[in-house]
A and B are shown apart, each in its own frame.
Chain A
Amino acid sequence: MKKAFSKIYLSLVYLFLYAPIIVLIVFSFNESKSKSHFSGFSLKWYIELFEDELIMTSLFNTLILALVSSVIATLIGTMAAIGIYSMKKKSRSAIMWVTNLPMVNPEVVTGISMMLLFVAFSSIFGIQQGFYSVLIAHITFNLPYVILNVLPKLYQVNNNLFEAALDLGCTPRQAFFKVIIPEIMPGIFSGFLMAVTLSLDDFIISYFTSGSDFQTLPVTIYSMLRKQVPPSLNALSALLFVAVLAILLISNITAIRKEKAEMKR
């Protein structure tokens, strides 16, 4: 009885989560423009999607932006984590408080505050908002996630490891790169991945900081939503859904295999 109830409840919530997406995907194959009446199967919206230059450019922009901003954020963030780890409690919590602000603050506020800075920038130095401003904004909101992923790993590192490396003849620099970095690598990597995902997905902060010349995919989607929405947006949703599904499946299957292997041991 209880089991049956659980199952029904789970199915209902999943239905709520997936029904809208399934409807979107179904209508991406619709022959006509209608989004409520299915008149026949067609792939023409997919063709239109790939021929849409604006969408393709912004997709490219989004990918580049995600990659560059995450690499820089991972670099600065990892260094920062080590620095913060070395600090006394007081200065550590002061820095973490500031770092976490973009995470705690509503995104609109972070967005407009940076917009104000870049507007001032462009009126003083004459540099227009564009790739550089969005890049800076993305690095800024990615930083706390990298730091929060690396810091716990640093606390897990056994202090004697570093000493042992020094005793065995490593210079501090060698000990750092050959012993400490490999130890905290999983944290660095998960921080990097998180940064990539957040950057790919971000709309609000890019919207306020990108100006008119540089558009990321979410910003383009937003401008499409303002007018009569073309069904190629459904096609785009369907493709993104499949991409996310593939990534999640692969990462989960590898994780499950790993866990199973560990259980056997």
Chain B
Amino acid sequence: MKNRALAIPHIVWALVFIVIPICFVLYFAFTDDSGAFTLMWVGQIGKYWGVFARSLKLALIATVICLLVGYPMAYIISRCNWLTQRTLTMLIMLPMWMNFLLRTYAWMTLLERNGIINNFLESIGLISEPLKMINTEGAVVIGMVYNFLPFMILPLYNIMVKIDNSLIEAAQDLGCSFPSVLRRVLFPLSVPGIINGITMVFVPAASTFVISQKLGGAKNMLIGDLIDTYFMGGEPNFHVGSMLSLVLMLIILICMAFMNQDDEEVML
């Protein structure tokens, strides 16, 4: 049943549609309009330093919140009986299967100046002026957490189901308090799930453009928004866009390599 030739269509496909496009990105990032080699776009990265910093900052905040909220969640679900577990994980997956544009749209209507939250707070007399919630960094973080929380919970849950209850009980019998069970048993055993969850939240959060555009407005541009503008906006500039994409790709790949360094199996 061994037949290496069967992989040929796929190899050709991957070369043409994965490798060559990335070469195109490299080409555009280091050439000018006439096609001559230039480093001028590298010099422009500095101009966008603030946007890079904001993207990484907001993505990091969202990832930390997802981890803090998702970890207890995954633990609680993993200790239920199997039927409850199935139901609860299904309920986690359900919003995840809704398109993320619609999930973001839901928050647009909630956070609006005349949205439900403001209306409600005003009607109970808690505020007299509508709060400014949309078009803030906070709104972007909420959007990220809302969109990506399931991607944190599910990998954590998948690893925690495999942790035998008797391990936890044994630790408790031997005199561990719950915090030290957490630190010495649960946490070390769930590291692969944590790494998986962090990458599944951080990568899309750091490179999003829809969430920031719809909930953060023009002031809170992220790196994804810049790339979007340079490719799809009114005055496209593929060179700057490619350079920014290249930097984003490098940042992400470095983060991933750093996180997966003891984990060769991830890439098979």
Q: Which residues of A approach B to under 8 Å, CB–CB?
A: 6, 9-10, 13-14, 16-18, 20-21, 23-24, 27, 35-37, 76-77, 79-80, 82-87, 92-93, 95-102, 104-110, 112-117, 119-120, 136-137, 139-140, 143, 147-148, 151, 157, 159, 162, 172, 175-176, 180, 197, 201, 203-204, 207-208, 217-218, 221-222, 225, 229, 233, 236-237, 240-241, 244-245, 248-249, 252, 255-256, 259
Contact = CB atoms under 8 A, between A and B. Distances in A.
A240 B98 contact: yes
Interface in B41-86: 69, 72-73, 76-77, 82-83, 86
Contact of B102 (A110, A175, A240): A240
Given A10-B76, A225-B105, A248 B5 contact: no
A104 B9 contact: no
Nearest to B116: A36
B6 to A, nearest CB: 4
Interface in B91-130: 91-95, 97-110, 112, 114-116, 118-119
A10 to B, nearest CB: 6
A190 to B, nearest CB: 15
Contact of B76 (A9, A157, A255): A9
Do most interface residues of chain B lie in helix, strand or loop, or is the interface mixed?
A: helix
B88 interface: yes
Contacts of B190: none
25 contacts: A13-B149, A17-B150, A20-B146, A24-B109, A35-B112, A35-B115, A36-B112, A36-B119, A80-B10, A83-B6, A99-B10, A106-B224, A107-B207, A108-B227, A108-B248, A112-B25, A112-B245, A113-B25, A116-B21, A136-B17, A172-B1, A229-B108, A244-B94, A252-B87, A252-B90
Given A86-B7, A140-B18, A237-B102, 7 more contacts: A20-B106, A86-B4, A137-B17, A221-B105, A229-B108, A249-B90, A256-B86
Nearest to B257: A104
B9 A76 contact: yes
Contacts of A240: 98-99, 102
A117 B105 CA distance: 31
Do most interface residues of chain A lie in helix, strand or loop, or is the interface mixed?
A: helix
A6 B76 contact: yes
Given A14-B91, A116-B21, A225-B105, A139 B73 contact: no
A176 B6 CA distance: 13
CB-based closest 7 A-B pairs: A83-B7, A80-B10, A106-B207, A113-B21, A20-B106, A86-B2, A83-B6
Q: Could you say which of A97, A217, A245 has the most chain B C-beta atoms within 10 Å of its C-beta? A: A245
A34 to B, nearest CB: 8
Nearest to A96: B268
Given A9-B72, A101-B22, A105-B252, A21 B98 contact: yes
A116 B98 contact: no
A156 to B, nearest CB: 13
Contacts of A35: 109, 112, 115-116
Contacts of B187: none
B13 A139 contact: yes
B216 interface: no
Contact of A109 (B2, B99, B102, B245): B245
A244 B6 contact: no
Nearest to A2: B178
Contacts of A244: 94, 97-98
Contacts of A23: 106, 109-110, 116
Nearest to A241: B98
Q: Could you say which of A10, A36, A84, A106 has the most chain B C-beta atoms within 10 Å of its C-beta? A: A106
B22 A113 contact: yes
A237 B238 contact: no
Interface in B195-211: 203-204, 206-207, 209-210
